[in-house]
Amino acid sequence: PLIQANPYVFQVHGQDRPFTAYLFGGASLNWLYANEDALKFNAEIGTIGPMALGQQVQQGYHKLFHLYPAGGWDYQLKNAPGVNLKLDYRMFLYRTGGDWFDMAFNPTGWLGNTFTGASAGMQFRVGELSKMYQSAMTNSRVSRNSRENMKHEFYFFTVPQLNYVAYDA
């Protein structure tokens, strides 16, 4: 008889990593500088495991879109609190005349009992650009002059980076 692989994961030996979800709340502070550098600090508190409601969300999504039944949740991680901090820096490096291309160096570090690691990359934007302190890229539209006419942005971007993951729950 022909043996077919089961497309659904219901046994623990058929999984390559534990099931879990991460439900959290967080807050961020942005420091925006006149030289267009930006520093962002994030703090979040949450939980992993059944209290994160991942099983209910995935099964509801699968049911809503008539997808296969999601299995494997019997083997999810136990409930555990999560406390994580993240520091993200964007160092503005260069912009062309006419504001159609710019680049920035982007190191990031995160520390917590759910995620710990670091990354470094380069951010490249091409299109109709605003200054970093007035850009969607830094989640900011800041001006000292309320009458200043902020131009709209339309750009493509990429952020190739190297990541080091010390811990990922």
Determine the residue type at 150: M
Question: What are the Cα distances from residue 102, in Å, to 4, 62, 81, 90, 129?
Answer: 52, 41, 40, 12, 8
Containing 28, the helix (H) or strand (E) segment is strand 22-32
- Write the pLDDT tens digit of every residue in 129-159: 999 988 989 988 776 676 667 778 999 999 9
Give 127 or 140, the one with higher predicted confidence: 127
Task: Tell whether the model's pLDDT for residue 29 goes beyond 80.
Answer: yes
What's the rounded Cα separation, in Å, for the pair 24 and 51?
11
- Write the pLDDT tens digit of every residue in 65-102: 998 887 778 888 999 999 999 999 999 999 999 999 99
Q: Which residues pair with 117 in a beta bridge?
A: 110, 165
Task: Tell whether the model's pLDDT for residue 167 goes beyond 70.
Answer: yes
Q: What is the model's pTM?
A: 0.79
